[in-house]
Structure 1
Amino acid sequence: MDYTIAVVDDDPHIRELVEAYLRKENYRTIGLGSGEAALELLEGDPPHMWVLDLMLPGMDGYELCRRIRDTAEVPIIMISAKDSEVDKILGLELGSDDYLVKPFSPRELVARVKRQLQRLRRLQGMEEAPASSVRIDAGPLLLLPEERRVFWHSEEVDLTSKEYALLQLFAERPNRAYTREELLVQVWGDDYFGSDRAVDHLLKRLRKKIAGLPVEAVWGHGYRLRAEEGGACHEAAPSN
């Protein structure tokens, strides 16, 4: 598959350098100098992946990242001269998949792009594969894997691919405690080399969409979905 990557940076030298390295790997690129221009692309013919500068004129990279994540679960790599932990955490909380500090090696950026696209291919393969006919029923939470639909107290909830993958993992084995490392491997893949804080930020997004979701922290370990006994998987009723 030919992937298109949007490179959003107001510095034309950095933008052109990044695009040149990506094109050497046979990726199609679209160079943009502002968040506003990126929004036009998002609303028209969006790319498969975004590389965003944080400090953009007008709309900054944080806001642009949030807008992108509201519509799609495509990979986002944020680049910035800001190297504080707060900036990195904020970027992850808003939905970026990776954070690279300037000055950076273009080869390192290309390596990270490849890893993100490998995960995208794996995720696309999962979505195209035949899904199980089992419904997952954990108290007020209901998942229909065949349709990839989620209901909370009978109300349908719209989730991104990663949010759904995390929730399904919890719901398949309620009351089972997972470490952050286990969740990273299951949702992001075993080649993910970012911070395990990504789990915390994805869970935070999930809780915002499902108020009252009983996922609790297990001190010194990770997280689990608290559910009453018997809230496990059940065979789906046959359709008429």
Structure 2
Amino acid sequence: MDNTPILIVDDEKSIVTMLETMLRKEGFHQIYTAHTGRDALSLIEKHPIEIIILDVMLPDGSGFDLCPQIRQQTNAYILFLTAKVSDLDVLTGFATGGDDYVTKPFNPLEVAARIKAFIRRKETHRHLDTSSTTSGRYDFGRFILDERAGELIVDGKVVTCPSQVYLLLLYFCKNPNLVLSKATLLEAVWGFDSYVDDNTVSVHIRRIREKIEEDPSKPKHLITVRGLGYKLIRGNETWQN
């Protein structure tokens, strides 16, 4: 049995029942359910939720509006359920703090596969050899990523960092001063079984810059290498782009 606490937020009781039944059959047993955004926030306050399946259309507001409120309380992995399929809608989900999405109608086993893939990626990153440091603490001056504590510290203060953003930044920290293409990042951080695309990387890069850069529009740490990808600068190296 998997002890990962999961919260399902959807106003359609049939969907909630279907997902809960499927997840229990797949070995998950710490499952909480909510039909409104208000109830979801209440459960998040009471329980250490690690994965949230969040419907975009809720009776008391949009899941896109709810997501930033959730992010004030937790860095849990957020999987949107959405009937909206345009690029703008998808990017809005990522920009508000989401990590992944599934479009309705969906196969519940696909949701289980996304969740299992996230758990595998999280465990893989947790056990990867930290070749650049034996302590799992990556110091880049203005910011520090403490892998063992699961914390991002910027200017001496711990800042919130959603799961997928954290995993992407961790991968950069483990590969400093290397140019990493979007394809490499998608494979390493989202995996072969992911349905996300290049735009997903771009959105998450922006989210990282908003946390670690003094001026996200003029990054000094996580820079773009035109035509090749991205690079996290470490040490005394300078970069002109």
TM-score when normalising by structure 1: 0.77
Superposed CA offset, 1:189-217 (max 9, x none): 45444223232222222222232341222
Stretch moving more, 38-47 or 159-168: 159-168
Judged with a 3 Å threshold, the aligned counterparts in structure 2 of structure 1 residues 20 and 170 are, in CA distance, closer, same or farther, namely: closer
Equivalent position of 2:22 in the other structure: 21
Amino acid of the structure 2 residue aligned with 1:195: D
Amino acid of the structure 1 residue aligned with 2:103: V
Residues of 1 paired with 2:110 and 2:28: CA distance?
16
1:195 aligns with 2:182: no
Paired positions, count: 227
Equivalent position of 2:105 in the other structure: 103
User: What is the DSSP-based 3-state SS (H/G/I as helix, E as strand, rest coil) of the residue aligned with 1:71?
Assistant: coil
Amino acid of the structure 2 residue aligned with 1:158: V
1:54 aligns with 2:56: yes
Unpaired stretches in structure 1, ≥5 consecutive residues: 232-240
Residues of 2 paired with 1:192 and 1:26: CA distance?
21
Residues of 2 paired with 1:125 and 1:171: CA distance?
15
Judged with a 3 Å threshold, the aligned counterparts in structure 2 of structure 1 residues 124 and 99 are, in CA distance, closer, same or farther, namely: same
1:83 aligns with 2:85: yes
Residues of 1 paired with 2:146 and 2:12: CA distance?
46
How far is 1:36 from its partner?
0.5
Judged with a 3 Å threshold, the aligned counterparts in structure 2 of structure 1 residues 108 and 182 are, in CA distance, closer, same or farther, namely: same
Judged with a 3 Å threshold, the aligned counterparts in structure 2 of structure 1 residues 31 and 163 are, in CA distance, closer, same or farther, namely: closer
Residues of 1 paired with 2:21 and 2:148: CA distance?
41
Equivalent position of 1:235 in the other structure: none
Answer whether contact 2:121 2:189 (CA < 8 A) is retained: no
Aligned partner of 1:217 among 224, 230, 238: 224
RMSD, aligned α-carbons? 3.1
Residues of 2 paired with 1:122 and 1:173: CA distance?
15
User: What is the DSSP-based 3-state SS (H/G/I as helix, E as strand, rest coil) of the residue aligned with 1:76?
Assistant: strand
Superposed CA offset, 1:159-211 (max 9, x none): 52554554455456655321112223444445444223232222222222232
How far is 1:66 from its partner?
2.0
Residues of 1 paired with 2:96 and 2:42: CA distance?
20
Judged with a 3 Å threshold, the aligned counterparts in structure 2 of structure 1 residues 60 and 105 are, in CA distance, closer, same or farther, namely: same
TM-score when normalising by structure 2: 0.77
Residues of 2 paired with 1:88 and 1:135: CA distance?
33
Judged with a 3 Å threshold, the aligned counterparts in structure 2 of structure 1 residues 55 and 147 are, in CA distance, closer, same or farther, namely: closer
Equivalent position of 1:3 in the other structure: 4
How far is 1:3 from its partner?
2.3
How far is 1:95 from its partner?
2.4
